[in-house]
Amino acid sequence: MFETLVTGGTVVDRGTMRRAEVAIDKGRIAALVAPGETAEAGAVFDAAGCILLPGLIDAHAHLREPGLTHKEDFSTGTHAAALGGVTTVLDMPTDDPWTDTAERLTDKMAMAQGRLHVDVGFQAVASRDLSLLPALLELAPVSVELFTADVPDAFLFDTLDAVGQALGRLAGSGTLVGISPGDQSILAGSGARDRSGSIAAFLASRPPLAEAGGIARALVAAADAGSRIHVRQINSAAGVEVWRRLRGIADASVETTPQNLFFTAADYETKGAALKASPPLRAQADVEALRAALRDRAVDIIATDHAPHSPAEKSAAYAAFADIPGGLPGLQTLLPTMLKLVDEGVIGLPDIARICAEQPAGRFGLTAKGRLAPGYDADLLILDPRRPHTIANAEQASRAGPTPFAGWTVSSRLARVILRGREIVRDGVLAAPRLGQIVRRGA
Between 10 and 180, name the residue whose CB sits nearer to Zn ion.
180
Nearer to Zn ion, 305 or 379 (CB): 305
305 in active site: yes
- The answer to whether 281 and 200 are in contact (CB under 8 A) is no
CA distance 338 to 350: 11
If you compute the radius of gyration of the chain from its CA atoms, what whole number of angstroms results?
Answer: 21
- Given the rule CB under 5 A, which residues bind Zn ion? 305
CB of 418 to Zn ion, least distance (A): 28
- In terms of CB distance, is 177 or 425 closer to Zn ion? 177
Can you tell me the distance from the alpha carbon of 216 to that of 101, in angstroms, rounded to the nearest whole number? Answer: 28
Q: Which position among 305, 351, 377, 379 bears the catalytic label?
A: 305
CB of 307 to Zn ion, least distance (A): 5
Would you say 10 or 304 has its CB closer to Zn ion?
304
Q: Which is nearer to Zn ion, 73 or 305 (CB)?
A: 305
Nearer to Zn ion, 91 or 379 (CB): 91
Q: What is d(CA 199, CA 396) in angstroms, rounded to the nearest whole number?
A: 28
SS3 334: helix
CA distance 31 to 23: 5
CA distance 257 to 233: 6
Q: C-alpha 44: how far from its chain's center?
A: 31
C-beta of residue 22 within 8 angstroms of C-beta of residue 52: yes
Smallest gap from Cβ 145 to Zn ion, in A, equals: 9
Tell me the sheet residues that pair with 29: 24
What residue number has its CB nearest to Zn ion? 305
Task: Please report how close the Cβ of residue 223 comes to Zn ion at its closest, in angstroms.
Answer: 25
**Smaller CB distance to Zn ion: residue 158 or 305?**
305
- Under 8 Å between Cβ of 126 and 133: yes
Taking the C-alpha atoms of residue 256 and residue 143, their distance in angstroms, rounded to an integer, is: 17
**C-alpha to C-alpha distance for 63 and 93, rounded to whole angstroms:** 9
CB of 62 to Zn ion, least distance (A): 6
CB of 114 to Zn ion, least distance (A): 26
Give me the least distance between CB of 235 and Zn ion, in Å please: 13
Provide the b/e sequence for 67-98 (b: ≥16 CB within 10 Å): ebbebbbbbbbbbbbbbbbbbbbbbbbbbeeb
Concatenate the DSSP letters of all residues of 46-92 into one string: E-TT-EEEEPEEEEEE---TTT-TTT--HHHHHHHHHHHTEEEEEE-
Q: Supply the residues annotated as catalytic.
A: 305
